[in-house]
Amino acid sequence: MSIRTDFPVFSHHPDLVYLDSASTAQKPSRVIEGMKYHMEHGYANIHRGAYILSEESEVLYHSSKEAVVRLIHAHETAEISYCYNATAALNILSTSLIASSQLNKWDKVLLSRAEHHANIVPWLIAKQTIGIEVEFVSLDADFQLDFTDLEEKLTPNVRVIALTAASNVTGAVFDLARVRDMIRAKNPSILIIVDGSQAVPHFQLDIQALDIDYMVFTGHKLMSDTGIGILYGKKSLLKVLTPAIGGGGAINWVREDGFAPSGLPSRFEPGTPHIIGAGSLLRAIEYIESIGGYAEIERIEKDLVHYTLTKWQVFKTQHSTVKLIWTEKEEGRIWVFSFATDAMHLSDVADAFAHHSICVRAGHHCAEPLMQSQCIMGSVRMSLFLYNTHEDIDRFFQAFSDILIHGVMNIEG
């Protein structure tokens, strides 16, 4: 049995070539059936009920966090808060840093030019509202962080550095250990925040080994339901972080003139959480564990990256108008490939791929500063995951070639 048969979408759409997993991943039966099971057998609100259904929901929610602890090698569940998605997690974090007076006017937040808008806009909002400074570290020719530029921009007012672990456009993996060493040597009080949204589905971001301060990621790219985001924080830091959002479930007591926040991690989880989504994340992590964990993901990824880049070598000799945005190295990357072309309008290219039953993305991929730094409007992005095959990659390059040779009109006609 291949991994692909674990994903019902492919039996419902036998001709489908799904190459958009950087956007969201398809779901295995274990996740789909797990969600149905919990809604049928053990669903109620958590934290509030003494009855058995509520207790079962509570156990599910807590087990999900235990699975996240295993996945990222955190210390304990108190370090893990759930929210809506990675975007929400970054907004909660930025506003909570402000609420705690840990981020103030004139403080500087450093980002890279490869960031997703989710890790740009919350900081630009802080710039608008309280007057922080936001600066972008350049990338080198290999689309890696330019460490010389980083060193120059590490001025005394830097309070936070927030970086993606892997780019959702180029697939480049940043050397976070080197960043950490440089930051800690310069000023140990600078907070290191990592956006693990693209990395966590591919390789282990070992929190204890990396020794970073905060990390966010999003469940749906890891095969859970949408609507479940993860905020990891070091316990010592979370304890002194004032929650910028509040309400029921996140307090110890409330009076007319004040309240006391609850303990960790529920103080960052006001309101009823996405219980079934948390359960779906548990099943997704269990699924990864059942197929051999990150070792197996990395084995499949290595093979598909090698195959894609081998096909690309042939393709590029036939289509010189197409550029792969990044180097052709197999190491130091995830299985995300972006192709730029000015031979055709990008949305036409994506439509033409859809005509071939191939799902790809075309556009700026929520990384406009990266596109601007490359002086391009966007790219055609193919992104792979566990369930993809060599045949999917063959069909991608064959269709791309047809589209470029025959044009969109001919294909559709």
Ligand X SMILES: Cc1ncc(COP(=O)(O)O)c(C=O)c1O
> What residues between 373 and 392 interact with ligand X by CB under 6 A?
none
Q: How far is the C-alpha of 326 from the C-alpha of 143, rounded, in Å?
A: 6
Residue 27 or 319: the one with the smaller Cβ distance to ligand X is: 27
The residue from 38, 116, 364, 395 that contacts ligand X (CB under 6 A) is 116
Is residue 83 annotated as part of the catalytic site, yes or no? no
Name the region of 253 (left: φ>0; alpha: ψ -120 to 50; beta: rest): beta
Residue 226 or 401: the one with the smaller Cβ distance to ligand X is: 226
Q: How far is the C-alpha of 79 from the C-alpha of 197, rounded, in Å?
A: 17
Cα angle vertex 333, ends 161, 306, to 5°?
180
Cα angle vertex 153, ends 152, 158, to 5°?
135
Q: How far is the C-alpha of 367 from the C-alpha of 328, rounded, in Å?
A: 21
| Coil, strand or helix at 109 | strand
Q: Give the β-pairing of 322-324 and 258-261.
A: unpaired
341 binds ligand X (CB under 6 A): no
Q: How far is the C-alpha of 42 from the C-alpha of 133, rounded, in Å?
A: 48
The residue from 112, 170, 197, 379 that contacts ligand X (CB under 6 A) is 197
> What residues between 77 and 106 interact with ligand X by CB under 6 A?
85-87
Q: Which of 194, 187, 121 is nearest to 154 (CA)?
A: 187
Judged by CB under 6 A, the stretch of 114-122, 181-189, 318-326, 377-385 that binds ligand X is: 114-122
The residue from 6, 20, 146, 195 that contacts ligand X (CB under 6 A) is 195
C-beta of 252: minimal distance to ligand X in Å?
30
Using the structure block, give the residue that is written with the tokens 């989710």: 118
The residue from 26, 64, 218, 266 that contacts ligand X (CB under 6 A) is 218
Judged by CB under 6 A, the stretch of 11-19, 111-119, 126-134, 322-330 that binds ligand X is: 111-119
In the chain, the N- to C-terminal Cα span, in Å, equals 39
Judged by CB under 6 A, the stretch of 131-139, 190-198, 320-328, 370-378 that binds ligand X is: 190-198
Site string for ligand X, 123-162 (x = CB under 6 A): ----------------------------------------
C-beta of 14: minimal distance to ligand X in Å?
27
C-beta of 342: minimal distance to ligand X in Å?
24
198 binds ligand X (CB under 6 A): yes
| Coil, strand or helix at 381 | strand
Residue 17 or 86: the one with the smaller Cβ distance to ligand X is: 86
Q: Residue 265, preceding bond cis, omega within 30 degrees?
A: yes
Judged by CB under 6 A, the stretch of 60-68, 100-108, 115-123, 276-284 that binds ligand X is: 115-123
C-beta of 167: minimal distance to ligand X in Å?
7
| Coil, strand or helix at 229 | strand
List helix spans (H) across 145-253: 147-153, 176-186, 207-210, 235-238
Name the residues that contact ligand X, by CB under 6 A: 85-87, 116, 118-119, 164, 168, 195, 197-198, 218
Catalytic residue IDs: 366
